Chain A
Amino acid sequence: MRDVAVVGVNMIKFGRYPDKDVVRLASEATIGALKDAGCTINDVEILVSGNLYQSNAMVGQRIMKEIGATGIPVINVANACATGSTAFRDAWMSVASGAYDVALAVGSEQMGKMGLLGGGGGGDRAYRTEGVMGTGIMPGVFGQAGVEHMRKYGTTQEQFAKVAVKNHHHSMGNPYAQYQKETPLEDVLNARPVAWPNTLFMCCPTGDGGAAAVLMSAEKAKQYTTNPAWVAASVLTSDPYQERNPTMTDINTVTRIAAKEAYETAGLGPEDLSQVELHDCFATAELLHYENLGLCGDGEAGQLIDEGATAIGGRIPVNASGGLLSKGHPLGATGVANIVELVWHLRGEAGDRQVENSKVGLAHVIGLGSACTINIIKK
């Protein structure tokens, strides 16, 4: 595989855009990324578009029609919440394999207020399972995942709640976040319960968004920049057999095997990371992933958040962007936006939330069902 550089990135502020369509959201980000790279759509040799809810509607081709239809190959990708990051990986593969020199990864989604939280259970009342035979909705699943950690290690609801306090605090420095609002610990714990131990402020909002990245071979990148970011590893896994899965979704194993492969490919370890953007769709998930990604030992995640090690300024800042909890989680856009965030930090362009002297960033996404992507981006 060849070295691949990320030369241009951009995203729009995540939020709700009822007056625009998804192609517009994606195109705004794409035009921004091309401008950032110093190239045009005419330089792009392949486009990979990540979009989940409109995956049957040729979003990639419609972006091309909006910004310049040059006849290049376009691939539309869907992979649950890992849709955008899978699109990024496919774009990376297109260049790393030697098949193309310039690839564009675009992630977009328009969810409005439909929500990940969901009402659960399907349309036909007679066959509603939610609440009748346990829970299968996202909040229930991620509640249970957190409770498993509580059972194994004695982790507390307060420790999970601190994740929300931290990430919402981080969002205060991120003008691209859907929500910028401080949530003190007391407010988090007293917020409306969604699925124990997660309260409303411990669940990510849904919304609309677009993000894009221009990837180039090393040779090509030299023509456009003297300061590219490099893809040190781009990994995609699915969950292997595990006894309770799929009755109980397993977000841990799929992440652990992805992390192992990513660290081996990059020739780096968790101790080499300057920062991490990980999949905090619910606050419970973030603590589990501290351990899954090797940021601390098994059972030590509660202590890691207690010590403030994962806050900006700490040993290993996690979700400096505000994470999905505040930045928002427009499914197809999320995975590409993580890359955008890391590249901004590596360049020193992350404004008030800048992680000092950032050299290596890791982006992690889980699509429940499950898919896990890990992209390690370095200077």
Chain B
Amino acid sequence: MTQEATEEKQTKPLLPFIKVPDNYPDEEAYIWGSKCSDCGSQFLGERLACGKCGGQTFEEVRFSDEGEVYVFSVVHQGVEEPFVGAIVDLKDGPSVRATISGLDPAKVDAGYRDWFGTKVKMYIEKVATDREGNDVIAAKFKVV
């Protein structure tokens, strides 16, 4: 049983809007979503209907790995090390919640005004192993 489980080990996305291609890791995972055919609104992941206009036809879109920091907080609550938790506007895409590396949480008081609009790039990282032994991957962001 153990051996079988190991053989079937898969890579799973932390959140459903991270697409793991069939030929992963030869092709890197990416953030994907749905673009409403009626009004053009874009959403992370799959949609049943458009949250803006109610349309039910969508085009599947691979979103850019590049984006800009819109806003952020430095979160201390519930974690050992504070982290920069941001909202990143993806280039030509929707916004995504993002943990940012390359901005020093300790320097927020002095430097926060310079953080707005910071260019960031998404990268994929294994963050955990689930109960079945599968790799769980997440989309993280670093300052360009």
Q: Which residues of A contact B (CB under 8 A)?
A: 117-121, 124-137, 139-140, 143-144, 147-148, 150-151, 157, 192-197, 241, 243-244, 247-248
Q: How far is the CA of A241 from the CA of B82 in the complex (A)?
A: 32
Contacts of B95 in A (CB 8 A): 243-244, 247-248
Let me know if B74 and A193 touch, CB within 8 A.
yes
Are A133 and B73 CB-contacts (below 8 A) given A144-B87, A243-B95? no
Let me know if B128 and A241 touch, CB within 8 A.
no
Let me know if B73 and A195 touch, CB within 8 A.
yes
Let me know if A244 and B74 touch, CB within 8 A.
no
Q: How far is the CA of A248 from the CA of B71 in the complex (A)?
A: 9
B97 within 8 A of A: yes
Contacts of B44 in A (CB 8 A): 247
Let me know if A195 and B71 touch, CB within 8 A.
no
**A191 to B: closest C-beta gap in Å:** 11
Q: How far is the CA of A191 from the CA of B116 in the complex (A)?
A: 25
Let me know if B76 and A193 touch, CB within 8 A.
yes
Contacts of B86 in A (CB 8 A): 134, 144
Name which of B1-9, B19-27, B58-66, B135-143 contacts chain A. Answer: B135-143
Contacts of B139 in A (CB 8 A): 133
Are A127 and B128 CB-contacts (below 8 A) given A134-B87, A147-B73? yes
Q: Which residue of B lies closest to A142 (CB)?
A: B73
**B60 to A: closest C-beta gap in Å:** 19
Extra A-B contacts (11), CB below 8 Å, given A196-B74, A244-B89: A125-B128, A129-B138, A131-B83, A133-B97, A135-B75, A140-B85, A144-B87, A150-B112, A151-B71, A247-B97, A248-B97
**Could you say which of B78, B108, B131, B138 contacts A133, with CB atoms under 8 Å apart?**
B138
**A239 to B: closest C-beta gap in Å:** 10
B144 within 8 A of A: no
A-B contact pairs, 30 of them (CB 8 A): A117-B77, A118-B77, A126-B130, A126-B136, A127-B128, A127-B130, A129-B14, A129-B15, A131-B78, A133-B99, A134-B97, A134-B99, A135-B85, A137-B77, A139-B73, A143-B75, A143-B85, A147-B72, A147-B112, A151-B116, A193-B74, A194-B76, A195-B77, A241-B41, A243-B95, A244-B89, A244-B94, A247-B44, A248-B70, A248-B71
Q: Which residues of B contact A (CB under 8 A)?
A: 14-15, 41, 44, 51-52, 70-79, 82-83, 85-87, 89, 94-99, 108-109, 112, 116, 127-131, 136, 138-140
Count: A-B pairs, CB below 8 Å: 135
Q: How far is the CA of A124 from the CA of B116 in the complex (A)?
A: 33
Q: How far is the CA of A148 from the CA of B132 in the complex (A)?
A: 41
Q: Which residue of A lies closest to B12 (CB)?
A: A126
Let me know if B94 and A247 touch, CB within 8 A.
yes
Are A248 and B109 CB-contacts (below 8 A) given A117-B77, A128-B128, A147-B72? no
Q: How far is the CA of A244 from the CA of B67 in the complex (A)?
A: 14
Q: How far is the CA of A244 from the CA of B90 in the complex (A)?
A: 11
Let me know if B79 and A130 touch, CB within 8 A.
yes
Contacts of A147 in B (CB 8 A): 71-73, 112
**Could you say which of A125, A128, A151, A195 contacts B76, with CB atoms under 8 Å apart?**
A195
Q: Which of B52, B72, B89, B98 has the most CB of A within 10 A?
A: B72
Q: How far is the CA of A124 from the CA of B131 in the complex (A)?
A: 9
Q: How far is the CA of A132 from the CA of B14 in the complex (A)?
A: 9
**A92 to B: closest C-beta gap in Å:** 30
Q: How far is the CA of A194 from the CA of B14 in the complex (A)?
A: 25
Contacts of B76 in A (CB 8 A): 192-195
Contacts of B116 in A (CB 8 A): 151
Q: How far is the CA of A241 from the CA of B42 in the complex (A)?
A: 12
Q: How far is the CA of A203 from the CA of B95 in the complex (A)?
A: 26
Q: Which of B14, B83, B87 has the most CB of A within 10 A?
A: B87
Q: How far is the CA of A129 from the CA of B140 in the complex (A)?
A: 11
Let me know if A241 and B85 touch, CB within 8 A.
no
**B20 to A: closest C-beta gap in Å:** 15
Let me know if A134 and B77 touch, CB within 8 A.
no
Contacts of B140 in A (CB 8 A): 132-133
